[in-house]
Amino acid sequence: MIKDITLGQYFPGNSVVHKLDPRVKIILTLLYITALFIVTNFKGYIVFGLFTFIIISISTIPHRFVFKGLRPLLFIIVLTAFINMFMTKEGVILYGIGPLVATDKGVEMAIFMVLRLLFLIMGTSLLTLTTSPILLTDGIEKLLNPFKKIGVPAHELAMMMTIALRFIPTLLEETDKIMKAQMARGADFESGNLLKRAKGLVPLLVPLFISAFRRADELATAMESRCYRGGDQRTRMKQLITDKRDYIAIVVMIALIAALIMMRLL
Amino acid sequence: MIIRIENLYHTYMKGSPFEKQSLNDVTLDIAQGEFIGLIGHTGSGKSTLIQHLNRLIKPTKGKIYILGKDITDKEINIREIRSKVGLVFQYPEHQLFEETVYKDIAFGPLNAGVSEECVHERVLEALKFVGLEESVLEKSPFELSGGQKRRAAIAGVIAMKPEILVLDEPTAGLDPAGRDEILFQIKSMHTKLNMTVILVSHSMEDIARIVDRIVVMHEGKIAMTGTPGQIFKQIKRIEQMGLSAPQVTYVMRALKDKGWAVKDEIFTVQQAKNELLRLLEGNND
Ligand SMILES: Nc1ncnc2c1ncn2[C@@H]1O[C@H](COP(=O)(O)OP(=O)(O)OP(=O)(O)O)[C@@H](O)[C@H]1O
Ligand SMILES: [Mg+2]
């Protein structure tokens, strides 16, 4: 039930996209988002859409899986469309109900904004879908390294993210188990008014917090007894390697951006 | 038949890349008053199967009848089923949450709609059954020792007075005395109240000495069923499934191989003792 959320989930696979160096992938994702803002006309969006479609196909992730990630954000997407459609005052009026007036410019804006949002979400979820959490945080740590000089605790941040990501499935599992155990004793998490439901969560939350604290404690002890200390002079078992495919990916991305700039200028 | 399971299938996370078939065509009948031992290698589907019995998990396919009622039916009163089938989970002490032990044990019966007075009686009764002192009632469950917590949690299920009691490894991680005591209590509850009990356990010794019938699961299927004698005499077969016979069986087999005139179909320490005494006394004559 709770496990149905796909946003931010990792989808194991063996494609080229999966194998890219996570540092490169993060930078490419940032470039992808930037490129999104170069596009200002329909032709550009078609090129952009095709590009996205091809990348998803190469990644071997089922398209419906990527689309499923959009569902939790449907509300924001609809709201964006609504605001853009009715708040744009220029252009020819198409129709109007009372104070709500939609112009041709407004409709165009709404479509563009929605497309932008869709690509934004799909692009970023492609990053998390094809990169295991460990690699992702490794990549972030490496990219943040230069900022250590100005006091950014890169290693600590990455370690915190790794631990948090590591424990999400564990906590979900634990929630599921405790919920079932209490339901077996007749607890009801689904019906009743808001107050009753909030009260009904006590039998779930108390054991959950206790176990989360216990786990945190155990983990800290385990790390300390193995002499963990952050950051400096730590070596890694798996080094991140930038390969030929990474350079090709970078070239492809630059080509896309160049093409989009050309289309805008012409 | 108090429990009837027909062609039950279950798959976890159906439709995702993590899909995992956990039950594969399980058919099983359990009679009123039976004491069933459910064994199987880790991951064989034991916990999945028992969670179907009070609809904590819905089957992918198949039917389950409890006391003659089809509980896979959408219209069924889930609360009623859950108060008839008491389920004690693995490490049940992790579900304790109330301020006092009393309130925690009373949680189940109160949810089932039992009146306050009856609840009081039931709490005391359940407490006695699991062998706890009345002085713990006003303590916080988090002050108790591990073994006491386990007992309090089991009492929380027993207080619901289920007709069918299902326990998932209730003695895992307890000391030997605590383990024996809890098993003994379960057995005596079974005899006194004529309760139907399903016990999941990895301890072949415990299973051999207290259950009437063993159900062996292997890779989501029911591989064998029969009395402890019938099951444990097929040592080869159960070893192939990653299980074993009780230790004492191996001892008796070894003795027989050394030329002692003992029966090798011995599954409990008690039986072994009688057999050895018989042999020694026979020799003295
Ligand atoms: N919540 C879940 N999500 C996905 N798969 C699961 C889940 N629970 C169990 N499984 C899988 O289903 C199979 C059966 O698990 P189950 O817990 O029923 O085994 P078990 O016989 O109780 O094992 P154990 O003796 O270790 O308790 C296992 O392969 C397990 O990995
Ligand atoms: Mg289990």
For A:199-238, CB contacts with B below 8 A are 202-203, 206-207, 210-211
| Cα(B5)–Cα(B65) distance, integer angstroms | 6
pLDDT on residue A101: 79
Whether A78 and A201 share a structural domain: no
**Residues 6 or more apart in contact with residue B116 via CB below 8 angstroms:** none
Q: A195: domain range?
A: 155-234
Residue B93 has pLDDT above 70, yes or no: yes
pLDDT digits (tens, 9 = 90+) for B119-147: 999 999 999 988 899 999 999 999 998 88
Residue nearest to ligand 1 atom 11, measured at CA: B22
Rounded to a whole number of angstroms, the distance from the CA of B111 to the nearest CA of chain A is 5
Whether A228 and A251 share a structural domain: no
Q: Is B278 in the pocket of ligand 1 (CB under 6 A)?
A: no
Whether A47 and A89 share a structural domain: yes
Say whether B111 and A185 touch across the interface (CB within 8 A).
yes
Q: Is B201 in the pocket of ligand 1 (CB under 6 A)?
A: no
Q: Is B268 in the pocket of ligand 1 (CB under 6 A)?
A: no
- Mean predicted confidence (pLDDT) in B95-124: 92
- State both tokens at A63: 């398209």
Whether A40 and A79 share a structural domain: yes
Ligand 1 mean position to B43 CA, how many Å? Answer: 5
pLDDT on residue A62: 87
Whether A266 and A178 share a structural domain: no
Whether A10 and A123 share a structural domain: yes
Tens digit of each residue's pLDDT, chain A (266 residues) = 445 555 567 888 899 999 999 999 999 999 999 999 888 888 889 999 999 999 999 998 888 888 877 887 888 899 988 888 888 777 777 777 777 778 888 888 889 889 999 999 888 889 988 998 888 888 998 898 888 888 888 888 888 888 887 888 888 889 999 999 999 998 888 777 888 888 888 999 999 999 999 999 999 999 999 988 876 777 778 788 888 999 999 999 999 999 999 888 87
Best interface-test mutation with A: which of B50, B52, B84, B94 has the largest number of A CBs within 10 A? B94
| Cα(A35)–Cα(A45) distance, integer angstroms | 11
Distance of CA A59 to the CA centre of its chain: 16
pLDDT on residue B283: 64
pLDDT higher for A35 or B262? A35
Spatial strand order in the sheet of B213-218: B85-88, B164-168, B196-200, B35-40, B213-218, B221-226
pLDDT on residue A106: 85
Whether A6 and A114 share a structural domain: yes
Whether A99 and A198 share a structural domain: no
Strand, helix or coil at B167? strand
Rounded to a whole number of angstroms, the distance from the CA of A225 to the nearest CA of chain B is 24
Q: Is B47 in the pocket of ligand 1 (CB under 6 A)?
A: yes
Whether A97 and A77 share a structural domain: yes
Q: Where are the beta strands (DSSP E) in B79-139?
A: 85-88
A145 within domain boundaries: no
Whether A47 and A104 share a structural domain: yes
Ligand 2 mean position to B46 CA, how many Å? Answer: 6
Residue B250 Cα distances to A98, B39, B204, B245, B254, angstroms:
89, 19, 12, 7, 6
Interface residue B77 vs chain A (CB under 8 A): no
pLDDT on residue A1: 42
pLDDT higher for B35 or A65? B35
A7 within domain boundaries: yes
pLDDT on residue B284: 57
Strand B20-30 relative to strand B164-168, pairing = unpaired
Task: Determine if the pTM surpasses 0.90.
Answer: no
pLDDT on residue B124: 94
Q: Is B91 in the pocket of ligand 1 (CB under 6 A)?
A: no
Q: Which domains does chain B have, with CATH numbers?
A: 3-227 (3.40.50.300)
Say whether A207 and B54 touch across the interface (CB within 8 A).
no
Q: Which atom of ligand 1 is nearest to the CA of B46?
A: 21
Length of chain A: 266
Total domain count, chain A: 2
Say whether A181 and B51 touch across the interface (CB within 8 A).
no
